[in-house]
Amino acid sequence: MAQIKRLSQSLTTNTTVFSALAIFGIGAYCTRSYFLQSAHAESNECPVMFSGLGFTTLRVQSVKAVNHNTKRLVFEFPDQNARSGLSLTSALLTFSRPKGRWLPVIRPYTPISDLNHQGTLELMVKQYPNGKSSTHIHSLVPGDTLTFLTSLKGFSWKPNLHPQVYMIAGGAGITPIYQLIRGILDNPADKTKINLVFGVNTEQDLLLRDELEEYKKRFPGRFDYVYTVSRLEEEKGGLKKGYVTEELLKGVLNGEKDTKVFVCGPPAMEASLTGSKGILARLGYNKGQVYKF
């Protein structure tokens, strides 16, 4: 994600690059649209919305507030038989021009909906203070549109790649983690066991809590989680008080050799976990065992 941040900063300060990208994107969009329409007309396969670089504009179908700074937005595909075409752990690069800005803002967001679902796609977006893209997206209402530039592939997951995986999420970093969780558990051929550690500031920040708890009910022997809340008056109902610390992780991670640890959260949390002297290294996990979204 650091590379994406550098990309967006570069684009906002270099109009020449932006112009070239826009021209290329429009050309790619026209070419892609032509071939998609032709291919769909000649086969019975569902059309794919995101198959390469090119502007794709989708209409907002619904908006739901999750808490004081997070919303879930459902976008509808022009063809209700279409599917996203995204692979597991993929993100989408959004392209928007917030009010009062001449140059656009480009930011990645991870869908939380089933990537094979036909007709719609759902994003969950947290609004950050002075966040140009997130503030713009939070202003959208049903009927408005949002443009997507391209898809970004993440970790290449294959069913049963590891018998056990650990996932550590902080705040809105749950979105790529959740996409991988549902991709594994909704696949009957995948028997991977998952343990999640989810750290947030307040109980209201436990995004996708209902969905995670439903998965635990459906897969009691394969999926489990630990919630830790830093601003909690007292521990209750399975909620731990505090941060994602080395002591906490010692009670969850077992140090297996054939396993993978996925991490996504605020920069400070990721810095404390990853790296040659981070918590995961001290717990015995080598660089190849840790993947940071």
Distance in angstroms (rounded) separating the CA atoms of residues 236 and 234: 6
φ/ψ of 173, rounded to 5, equals -65, -5
Distance in angstroms (rounded) separating the CA atoms of residues 197 and 38: 46
Q: Is residue 132 annotated as involved in ligand binding?
A: yes
Distance in angstroms (rounded) separating the CA atoms of residues 112 and 207: 11
Q: Do the strands 105-109 and 223-229 form a parallel or antiparallel pair, or are they unpaired?
A: unpaired
Q: Is residue 134 annotated as involved in ligand binding?
A: yes
Scan for tokens 């077992």, then name that residue: 254
Distance in angstroms (rounded) separating the CA atoms of residues 259 and 192: 10
Cα end-to-end distance, the chain, whole Å: 6
Amino acid at 1: M
Tokens linked to 80? 């209700």
Q: Is residue 108 annotated as involved in ligand binding?
A: yes
Q: Is residue 175 annotated as involved in ligand binding?
A: yes
Q: Is residue 34 annotated as involved in ligand binding?
A: no
180: alpha, beta or left, given left = phi > 0 and alpha = psi -120 to 50? Answer: alpha
Q: Is residue 126 annotated as involved in ligand binding?
A: yes
Q: Is residue 96 annotated as involved in ligand binding?
A: no
Q: CB count, 10 Å around CB of 43?
A: 9
Annotated binding site: 107-109, 126, 132, 134, 175
Binding-site sequence positions for FAD: 107-109, 126, 132, 134, 175
